[in-house]
Copies of this chain bind each other. A is one copy, B any other.
Amino acid sequence: MVKKEKVTIKMVADEAGVSKSTVSRVISDYPDISDDTKKKVREVMKKLNYHPSAIARSLANRISKNVGLVLPSDEDFFLNPFFQESLRAIAITASSRGYDTMLVYNDKDETTAINRLVSANKVDGMILMRAIVNDKSIQYLKENKVPFVLIGNSLENKDIYSVDTDNFKACQELTRILVENGCKKIGFIGGDKNSVVTLDRLKGYMSVVKEKNLYNDKTMIQENEFTKLNGYRSIEKILSDNEDIDGMIVTDALIFRGVVDYLTEVNYGKDIILGTFGAEHQLGYDDRFKVFNVDVQCMKMGQASCNKLIDMLDGQKVNKMDIIDYKIM
């Protein structure tokens, strides 16, 4: 077997009897190259099994063909199925458009990881997978004029590109459904208080509580982390303070699992109607419970955010904010 050597543009050019410039142009599929030479060059490329070096291209034209994915570094948050599924959708979408995906784990108050990717020119743009209150990453990306799209909603930055669920409306609708099903006293369990998603959903819930004049007590609202344990403890706490609760809003699949665990343990069933965020397959509960869930369609979100970023990089005009529809079932 012949020793493999990296095939370069030079070798293709020589073999095809044209200049490097010409080869370069057929790589990029320039319109003003004659069909004949295009064809010839392509044949040679195939014959030589030539693949342009992305690195060299990047250096020459400052385009990396990489998108950066910014994930929360807090374990609890990341364990959320939402991330796993969006991440997959993003990577697959990127790939289908000729981009590769780079991962960054980002701390709440640090931008060093992001900074590294950006200043090393490793990515053309970024996707942020959550927004927290007073988000440093968003600040950084704006200041450095890095193209990015946020999955979520930033309270402080309304002029950025984003893709989001209408969490206020979704949670409002969900709460109303519980009311229509007879609930008089509805509790709320959310994730991290600094997470904008939690806040938006809380507002939706509150709006119905006020509108319908439902009984309302602070002990009915718990916000902590995005964990199963939090769900377990929060529902325990709420029930011990409010025996007569007949409905619960839960903002997250992981938390929901903890809630179901506790309710199963103490033998609750349909006495409490549950409204939760999360797709059916992420939840896990059985017939003993009555559950309404809003599916925010993370696959769609991931896809939309990635397409939006790449459209931006392509210089296309895109909306500032896109709202992805949810499904309540």
Residue of B79, B100, B105 touching A95 (CB-CB under 8 A)? B105
Closest to A73 in B: B92
Contact present for A78 and B88 (CB under 8 Å): yes
Q: Is the CB of A103 within 8 A of B120?
A: no
- Please tell me if the beta carbons of A228 and B281 are within 8 angstroms of each other in the complex: yes
Partner of A102, one of B101, B113, B116: B101
Shortest Cβ gap from A116 to chain B (Å): 8
A11 within 8 A of B: no
- The answer to whether B284 touches A284, judged by C-beta atoms less than 8 angstroms apart, is yes
The residue that A104 contacts in the complex, of B87, B100, B105, with Cβ under 8 A, is B100
| Stretch from A13-21, A52-60, A192-200, A307-315 at the B interface | A52-60
A216: Cβ under 8 A from any B Cβ: no
Residues of B close to A83: CB separation below 8 A = 84
Query: How many Å lie between the Cα of A281 and that of B122 in the bound state?
Result: 35
Given the interface pairs A54-B121, A59-B56, the reply to whether A100 lies near B102 with Cβ below 8 Å is yes
Chain A residues within 8 Å of B, Cβ to Cβ = 4, 51-56, 58-59, 64, 66, 69, 71, 73, 75, 78-79, 81, 83-85, 87-88, 91-92, 95, 100-105, 113, 115-117, 119-122, 144-145, 228, 257, 261, 264-265, 281, 284, 286-287
